[in-house]
Structure 1
Amino acid sequence: MVAEGFTVDLNAPLVFQVGHLGEAYEQWVHQPIVGKEGPRFFKSDFWEFLTRTVWWAIPVIWLPVVCWSVSQSVLMGRTFPQIAVMAASGIVIWTLLEYIIHRFLFHIKTKSYWGNTAHYLIHGCHHKHPMDGLRLVFPPAATAILCIPLWNLSKLLVAPSMAPALFGGGLLGYIVYDCTHYYLHHGQPSVDPARNLKRYHMNHHFRVQTLGFGITSSCWDWVFGTLPPPKS
């Protein structure tokens, strides 16, 4: 692919190439290559390994953390109804965070070398290779970093004895989000709402990439006016 005199070699590690595209990066990254073979990111086998995550690692790693977090609120004397409300609230908060992150961070426009490089790493690669099954969920290290502001937000919003349950609900929302995202790309749902949600997300990838930022739900797209128009 030639852009501003620079050719991206798809057979070579991509991460440190894409920055050279400059302003042409935005167009290049939104021209998807539909194939299950994922590109190589880094020459180093170690760094390459860190970019690849199987989908089932998400519930295996993070569900025990959810259980531990909720148990802390139990040990502090909170009742089941209180914990259920907090966990449900955490899930709702996550759906909003999911929308905000996807819309304003994952789809930020870049043109500098390091801006393009960073964007490709966090989300651009997904739009360029949407069927790459090992880069559809967050690597655990990235999720661990995300947990820090999520925990601090939980402490800010509710009492200390409720914060672990709220955080656990938010983390459970994230697990549902990442597993849903993988399923929307590689599953074949035959009934609604899953079938409709898959159509909605594929529309974001292949038709209107500047709208439809919800993954687990389209509710926040409706609230904030980013629903894609119906097909003509």
Structure 2
Amino acid sequence: MTFRELVVAYFQYPAIIAYLLLSAVAIGVFLWNPAPVVPTAVAIGVAMFIYPLVWYVLHRWVLHSRWMFKVPMLAATWKRIHYDHHQDPNHLEVLFGALHTTLPTIGAATLPIGWAIGSIWDAPVGGAMAAFATGLLTTCFYEFVHCIQHLAYKPKAKFLAEMKKRHMAHHFHDENGNYGITTFLWDRLFGTFYDRSERPAKSPTVFNLGYTPEVAERYPHVARLSGGVATGHPRRRGE
């Protein structure tokens, strides 16, 4: 895949179009009710800083938890937003998160912070919109890097190649680490950053996240939605 083909594929996803449209709306609201330069810059900076931490926390302790599939009301959500992605990491239809889960998360992570910062300068709406637009555009960047990591594109930039290497280890070697997408700072700080040479044994749950056939017998909600529990490497199933 060429870089041009990657870009074309990326902009065909409805989720990306939705993020860009919403960020344009947020910027429009900001221009209608702007905040001064200082709170705007602070809101943008804080949103950019907090975003990877929020992603790390959600990725590690929610998406990789083993409690969501036990709750009937959450089983379908967990299946769609992460189980299916790990079952077949290169399945493009589930590469991006579902909007009904990503948009509330982006809003919750950025709007209150932007509102609080803007309120100090009596411009809560402008601050909130600056932070929200930053969260949406950061998501677009995250998803573009995520495309690079999962599609048949070999990045030339060393830092992108390194990101892809770490993320592929998360999907194909050991899911218990390398939770970052564009930065592994929080992995390093929380002790979950690793190189494959440091973990010679492959995780037996790298593709099912612990939702094994035995677990499915007790908590069948995801299995019913999936038509069973797939086992083994996704590229070798059916051989």
Give the alignment's TM-score, normalised by structure 1. 0.67
Residue 207 (str. 1) matches residue 173 (str. 2): yes
Partner in structure 2 of residue 98 of structure 1: 55
Q: 1:17-60: CA deviations, max 9, x gaps?
A: xxxxxxxxxxxxxxxxxxxxxxxxxxxxxxxxxxxx98632332
1:125 aligned residue (76, 84, 106): 84
Answering whether residue 218 of structure 2 is matched by residue 218 of structure 1, we say: no
Q: Structure 2: give runs of 5+ residues left out of the alignment.
A: 1-9, 199-239
Give the one of 110, 113, 128 matched to 1:154: 113
- Residues 162-201 of structure 1: matches in 2 within 5 Å? 162-186=127-151, 187-201=153-167
Q: Percent identity?
A: 23
Q: Which residue of 2 aligns with 1:59?
A: 16
Q: What whole-Å deviation, never above 9, does each CA across 1:148-193 have from its counterpart, x for those lacking one? A: 4235533564221311101211222122112221221003212211
How far 1:62 moved relative to its partner?
Answer: 1.3
More helix by share: 2
Identify the residue that residue 112 of structure 1 maps to in structure 2. 70
Q: Which residues of structure 1 form unaligned runs of 5+?
A: 1-52
Contact 1:54 1:133 survives alignment (8 Å): no
| Residue in structure 2 matching 1:86, options 37, 43, 49 | 43
Structure 1 Cα separation of the partners of residues 96 and 167 of structure 2: 15
Q: Partners of 1:147 and 1:208 in 2: how far apart? A: 27
Give 1:90 deviation, angstroms.
1.4
Which range moved further: 143-152 or 170-179?
143-152
Distance in 1, Cα, partners of 2:43 & 2:104: 22
